[in-house]
Structure 1
Amino acid sequence: MTVKYLWVEYNKVNERGTFSPGDTLSGRVTVVTSKETKVQCFLVKAKGKAKVTWCDQEGEATVVRSDKKKYFYFEHIFLQDKNSGKGSEIIRRGRHVYPFTFVIPNTDMPSSYRGKWGNITYSLRAKLTQSLWLVHKTKTEFPFLTKSEFPFASKSETIIIGLKERQCATRISFYGTGKVTMNVTSEKMGVKQGEAIGVSVEVLNNSAGTATPEFYLCEKETFVAKSKRTVHRNDILFATGDSVPAETSQTITKVLSVPLQLPPTFFNCCMMKVEYRLKVILNVNLARDLEIKLPLVVLLGSPKPQQQKPRRSIWFRNLPA
């Protein structure tokens, strides 16, 4: 095997290390050979796509739901056999660098994302074909950031109003001759990655038992494939407040810090979306719990320098005789 090393890398265009619609994606493919190598085809591809896959149980049968969408596909050929696949192109012994340049389409596309049953990925792939049975491949993904001004707005909304406004909700439950009232307030509906948000719960406990609030940051992923859909829910953060004794009232506040790497809310992909909720559950002794959910929009945080993901390159070793 004369191809000893093959890898692909790209040039950053900003301090965040991300690419967006309209950007120029340039880089290089490097190949190291131990001796003169005949090549049928040598190329690099740039691809953006979304793909979802999950399984449903219908009776005793398992049905696979799957769909995909291609946002763009470009191909640059460095070497192409002109002699009916006989390997007429030659790569000399040593290290060789092949530059490439692509321009990403200036259209609305979602940001990179990896979810429970679906991914949105943008990648570079290099492929060197020596023969039908001897093909070398390498791949690296590059982070992509949408240019959509409101990726967190659904199709029925042009903009979400009130991201900085306080939110409030109330629940009342009766327990025999007493009742419990829970008022939940959050500082705002929109919060950036890495920021903290305060959530307050006012408990008026006129029942005979204690009441304990629990605070959650909940994530909801929705995946769609050919008119079928599935949902995955996940609790990102959890905190417990002080218990409120019987026949008393108290206001409890918790500060929840949104993880810096938590994906932002988005709706601008036809096959998947991600949304969040603030959930407060009031556990009442010997009674039914009260629950309140408030919408939360996670916005893109401040730019942070990113390193290229470790490239998946391949070392080739000679097989023993």
Structure 2
Amino acid sequence: MSPIKDLALIYEAPNRAGFFSSGDTVTGCVSFTLTKDTKVKSFKVKVNGEAHVHWRETVGNDRRSYTSHRKYFKDKKYFVEKNDKGTEISKGDHSYKFTLKIPEGDWPSAFSGYSGKIVYTLEARISRSWHMPTYVQKELKFAAKYFPQPDQTMCPQTDSVAKGDVQMSATVDKKSCSPGETLIVIAHISNMSSKNVAPKVSIQEKIRYHAIGKSKYSDLSVCKVVGNTIMPNSVENVSCQLRVPEKSYTVHNCDIISVYYYVKVYLDIKFTIDPLVAFPLVIVPAGVSGQTVGPHPAGVAGGPSANDFPAPAFSYPAPVAQGPYGNPAPNQIPYGAFSTGHNIAYPPQSVPSYGFSSAVFPPALVQPQAPYAPPMFQHGEQPPSYMAVFPPPNSSK
């Protein structure tokens, strides 16, 4: 039976959001109890960051495995230096304080997917001769220092599509957001066909895993809502509120895992290809200071932070609580809510210049653009920009 009992590892959060980033320090304490005097070969604490992908594919009788790994950084501190003969630690309670440094670098945000993950860990490990090591490990919340922010982050995006006798013009109220925030989608739908039409809105997560010259893609719906059926020969204005799910973040600076998001607004029509429009969406952790990608001036965003890098060039307005304009408080908004008619209300000062109101909807319909092919990547090649790897829409229902 091991004489090492109650090995515990605690650390201080760098800010209210609890996210670390490059350049931060990790301070904490390791504690344990020894039931007798014990010799240890080494005793250390370390922080490290790494990315790993792995998947298998079977074609006929040929089964192939694809694996790739990236090590970003590691910093460690020895409380007991390596010694094969062992260093004796006395019986009783022990506590050791530590400070570790996360080096500067363009490290990607933490992510976990079916075929890969980007993980940052803090670990304390005690090694003894002829025994398995005793250790405790914790995953750190980690946010990238730089974010791919589009121009005019808080400006709405608008697009239109027409398919036969069905037309739709849709608008989403922002280009960038954080988990837990609410997106507002408005659509003007003209159904002059003989079929029923059901409006649907979803937040799509596009993941690309890459290893030894091979890429694997997934396109998943992380949030989806369905509106009421629009009858033939009718026109409807519909509105939708989508709450961005937790733990959803854009990952743009890892060469083996890329994660991008977009809002898909489409019409479900039986026995035909669904008309749709798609809007890119950048999701970054809330309350984390950072810098945007591109020549933007620094600004203030989120809550106080111990991070020592400049603040980003964007900020998120506080959600509007229940009040005279009818906007629900954040904790009253489900992951999706649809409504029809002219019932989306905004405070007067937040109405965009082109007119979000109960009477004015997005600009006139335009002809849809030709579809584009999925992005192609070469082994070891980084995508040139966020828009270059924005995923093509998926018409699955």
Alignment TM class, shorter chain as reference: 0.7 to 0.9
For 1:104, which of 102, 105, 125 is the aligned residue?
102
Are 1:295 and 2:286 counterparts? no
Matched, 1:171 2:130: no
Q: 2: distance between equivalents of 1:284 and 1:146?
A: 40
Q: Report the alpha carbon displacement of residue 300 of structure 1 after superposing the two structures with TM.
A: 2.8
Shift of 1:285: 4.7
Q: How many Å separate the matches in 1 of 2:213 and 2:163?
A: 39
Query: C-alpha distance in 1, partners of 2:101/2:276?
Result: 49
Aligned to 1:86: 85
Task: Compute the displacement of 1:304 (Å).
Answer: 8.0
Is the 1:209–1:286 Cα contact (8 Å) retained in structure 2?
Answer: no
Q: Distance in 2 between matches of 1:286 and 1:76?
A: 64
Tell me if 1:256 matches 2:227: no
Q: Structure 1 residues 23, 297: CA separation in 2 closer, same or farther (over 3 Å shift)?
A: closer
Q: Kindly tell me: are residues 275 and 16 of structure 1, through their superposed partners in 2, closer, same or farther at Cα, counting changes over 3 Å?
A: same
What is the alpha-carbon distance in structure 2 between the residues aligned to residue 276 and residue 165 of structure 1? 17
Judge conservation of contact 1:242–1:252 (CA < 8 Å) in 2: no
Do structure 1's residue 272 and structure 2's residue 257 form an aligned pair?
yes
Distance 1:114 1:285, change over 3 A: closer
1:244 is matched with 230
Q: Deviations over 1:48-77 (max 9, x none)?
A: 111111222233232221111111112222
Summarize the Cα distance change of 1:172–1:106 in structure 2 as closer, same or farther, 3 Å threshold: same
Can you give the 5+ residue segments of structure 2 that lack an aligned partner in the other structure?
A: 288-301, 305-397
User: 2: CA distance between counterparts of 1:298 and 1:38?
Assistant: 49
Q: State which of 201, 216, 222 in structure 2 corresponds to 1:230.
A: 216
Assess if the C-alpha contact under 8 Å between 2:75 and 2:102 holds in 1: no
- TM-align CA RMSD: 2.2
The letter for the 2-side match of 1:270 is D
Q: Deviations over 1:121-155 (max 9, x none)?
A: 1112222122133421221222222221x2xx3xx
Contact 2:109–2:249, Cα closer than 8 Å, also in 1? no
Assess if the C-alpha contact under 8 Å between 1:279 and 1:294 holds in 2.
yes
Structure (1 or 2) with the greater strand fraction? 1
SS in 2 for 1:99: strand
CA contact (8 A) 2:194 2:233 kept: yes
Corresponding residue for residue 51 of structure 1: 52
Q: Post-superposition, which runs of at least 4 consecutive aligned residues in structure 1 deviate over 3 A?
A: 285-288, 302-305
Q: For 1:79-130, what per-residue CA distance to the aligned partner results, in whole angstroms no more than 9, with x for missing partners? A: 2354xx233x101000111222222112221122222222211112222122
- The answer to whether the 8 A contact 2:143-2:285 is kept is no
Give me the whole-angstrom Cα distance separating, in 2, the residues matched to 1:293 and 1:271: 25
Q: 1:189 aligns with which of 175, 179, 204?
A: 175
Count residues in correspondence. Answer: 289
Q: TM-score, normalised by structure 2?
A: 0.67
- Looking at structure 2, the residues matched to 81 and 173 of structure 1 have their Cα atoms a distance apart, in angstroms, of 70
- Partners in 2 of 1:208 and 1:72 — Cα distance? 61
CA-CA distance at 1:34 after TM superposition: 0.6
Contact 1:32 1:94 in 2 (8 A): yes
SS at structure 2 position matched to 1:131: coil
Give 2:117's aligned residue: 119
Q: Retained in 1: the 8 A contact 2:75–2:101?
A: no
Q: Distance in 1 between matches of 2:263 and 2:169?
A: 13
1:135 alignment partner in structure 2: 133
Larger radius of gyration: 1
Query: Which residue of structure 2 lines up, in the alignment, with residue 162 of structure 1?
Result: 152
CA distance in 1, matches of 2:303, 2:247: 14
3-state DSSP class of the match of 1:45? strand
Report what 2:381 is aligned to: none
In the alignment, the residues of structure 2 paired with residue 145 and residue 48 of structure 1 have an alpha-carbon distance, to the nearest angstrom, of 12
Structure 2 vs 1, CA of residues 44 and 284 (structure 1 numbering), >3 Å: closer, same or farther?
closer
Aligned residue number for residue 197 of structure 2: 211
C-alpha contact 1:7 1:139 (8 A) present in aligned 2: no
**Residue 46 of structure 2 contacts residue 77 of structure 2 at CA under 8 Å; is this kept in 1?**
yes
Letter in 2 for 1:239: V
Alpha-carbon spacing, 1:287–1:232, altered in 2? closer, same or farther (3 Å): closer
Identity of aligned residues (%): 29
Against the structure 1 CA distance between its residues 272 and 206, is the aligned structure 2 distance closer, same or farther, given a 3 Å change threshold?
same
Question: What letter matches 1:86 in structure 2?
Answer: K
* Higher relative contact order, chain-length normalized (CA < 8 Å, sep 6+): 1
The answer (yes or no) to whether the contact 2:195–2:231 under 8 Å persists in 1 is yes
Structure 1 residues without counterparts, runs of 5 or longer:
154-158, 306-321
Q: TM-score, normalised by structure 1?
A: 0.82
